[in-house]
Amino acid sequence: MITGYNSDVRYRSLSFHVQTEDKGPKNPVVETLLYHKGMILATRKTPYHHILNDEHVGEKVKKLMIRQHQEMIMDLRKGVFDELLLGTKEEEKGEDELEELFLENIEKFKRISLDVERFSIKDIYLKIDAAVKSASLEPVEEKFVEIYLKLPDGKRMFLAKELTDEAGRVSISIPAPQLEKPYIIIVSVEVKEVGRDEKWFKVD
């Protein structure tokens, strides 16, 4: 396990903390978290199972950690999370107003739940059954559930998307990625002005 990285970042009059750590060889994942006042706002994870037997694994994991840590900070400063954190991209707001917007929007961030009821790979097809609900447990209908592949370099590759039905449910069946295992599949949903959630699945 490699020593992690921690940075305090000031952005738009608000204070954020970025933390990156290596989960170690038993759970070979580099995880970066974006915090505000102890609350996790964004998470990025990159598995590195594919380089565990590499003689330079320590050096490569360290480079991965540094890159992912810096990318989270750069994305924060570039405004990538503005609509998620504040519900707005408008710059001309005072510190108190920004803080109020932030707190309001974080409540929205928490108001959706993605439940993956079935995730399986059979006959080279990927089968996903999911349901999307609001915090009040009401189904969220006619919203997209998207499927991504997490690549070894940390990038995401879009695979498919489908609309939820009137019960907030969706069923997706697509050809399974023909890649060397293990790899990560991400099932995600984002409903504007409601919230977002995602689930990660390792394919061995």
Q: Domain residue spans in the chain?
A: 5-107, 112-203
- Whether the model clears a pTM of 0.85, i.e. scores above it, the answer is no
- The mean predicted confidence, pLDDT, of the chain is 80
Q: How far apart are CA 17 and CA 34, in angstroms?
A: 6
For position 169, what pLDDT does the model report?
92
> What residues in the chain have per-residue pLDDT under 50?
88-89
Quote the pLDDT of residue 194.
Answer: 60
- Reduced to 3 states (helix: H, G, I; strand: E, B; else coil), residue 109 is helix
Query: How long a stretch of residues is the chain?
Result: 204
The CATH number for 112-203, chosen from 3.90.1150.10, 1.10.630.10, 3.40.50.450, 2.60.40.1930, is 2.60.40.1930
Cα angle value 104/139/106 (rounded, 5°): 15
User: What is the structure's pLDDT at 88?
Assistant: 47
The end-to-end CA distance of the chain, in Å, is 22
**Is there a cis peptide before residue 28, judged by omega within 30 degrees of 0?**
no
pLDDT digits (tens, 9 = 90+) for 1-54: 566 888 999 887 788 889 999 888 888 889 898 887 766 778 888 889 889 888
